[in-house]
Structure 1
Amino acid sequence: MTRKLISSGSPFEAQIGYSRAVAVDGWVFVSGTTGYDYATMVMPEDVAEQAANALATIAKALGEAGASLDDVVQVKYILTDGNDFEACWPVLSKAFATAMPAATMIEARLMNPEMKIEIEAVAKIRA
């Protein structure tokens, strides 16, 4: 079994004890990712901007594993207010226009009140 741990540099990873992504045997499992810009630790107020930031972080982690958003086979969206989901659709549909992954949207409270969306993804690295 080959296993690669990938970090985004988020302080939460070290504090809580997890990796942004784990690549194992041709699969990449990306942890739930919120909308922080991890370079500045700034969280935009707009849910669609948060989704775009989360997808950028996910894309970077996938790239480090040898995959891309086009390789995503499953995605889970967790929103604090399900009514915000539609505002994210343009960002999400652009990111996953090629992959068209299986998807789920869940409404739940997130770790910090400023977090409006968290995105988790699974990708299969192409041979």
Structure 2
Amino acid sequence: MTRRRVFTGSPWEPVVGYCRAVRIGERIEVAGTTAMQHGEVVGEGDAYEQTRFILQTIEKALNELGASMSDVVRTRMFVTDISKWEEIGKAHGEFFRNIQPAATMVEVQALIDPRLMVEIEVEAIVEEE
């Protein structure tokens, strides 16, 4: 099967050796995605805005691989302050209210940049092209 990849220009992609998303057959895995754009944090101090930006980034990666948010079957949200769950959940719901993938939200001690509040990864399954 062909392996298709999406890169977003993250400064960590070449250093760590990963891509934003990879598709093999009908399966797409999207790497942990944060609110970074061109080395700057988007929505600093705002968990809702960070989550919206992250999900928009994920949506673009899925689209590049011939999928959409409706193909998502699982999300995993890593948050640095679980008390912000409602803000994060609100943004998640705006994208997934009618799709309702399996979802996990866990609090973590820290992300790669202390200004980041949320990191999300997703799994999607699409029909073969």
Same fold (TM over 0.5): yes
* Counterpart contact for 1:8–1:20, Cα < 8 Å: yes
TM-score by length of 1: 0.92
Q: Which runs of 5+ in 2 are unaligned?
A: none
Q: How does 1:51-70 map to 2 (within 5 A)?
A: 51-70=51-70
Structure 2 match to 1:41? 40
CA RMSD of aligned residues (A): 1.4
The separation in 2 between residues aligned to 1:110 and 1:76, in whole angstroms, is: 14
- Pairing 1:33-112 to 2, within 5 Å after superposition: 33-36=33-36, 38-39=37-38, 41-45=40-44, 46-108=46-108, 109-112=110-113
Runs of 4+ in 1 over 4 A off after TM superposition: none
Aligned length: 126
**Which letter does structure 1 place at the counterpart of 2:88?**
C
Cα deviation, residue 40, structure 1: 6.6
Report the Cα offset of residue 9 of structure 1. Answer: 1.6
Structure 1, 93-102 or 51-60: larger mean CA deviation: 93-102
Contact 2:10–2:39 (CA<8 Å) still a contact in 1? no
Q: Is the 8 A contact 1:48 1:87 kept in 2?
A: yes
Matching of residues 12-27 of structure 1 within 5 Å: 12-27=12-27
In structure 1, list runs of 5 or more residues that go unmatched. none
Deviation at 1:88, TM superposition (A): 1.6
Residue 5, structure 1, aligned to residue 18, structure 2: no
Shift of 1:106: 1.1
State, as a whole percentage, how many aligned pairs show the same letter.
40
Q: 1:42 to 1:115 in 2, by over 3 A?
A: closer
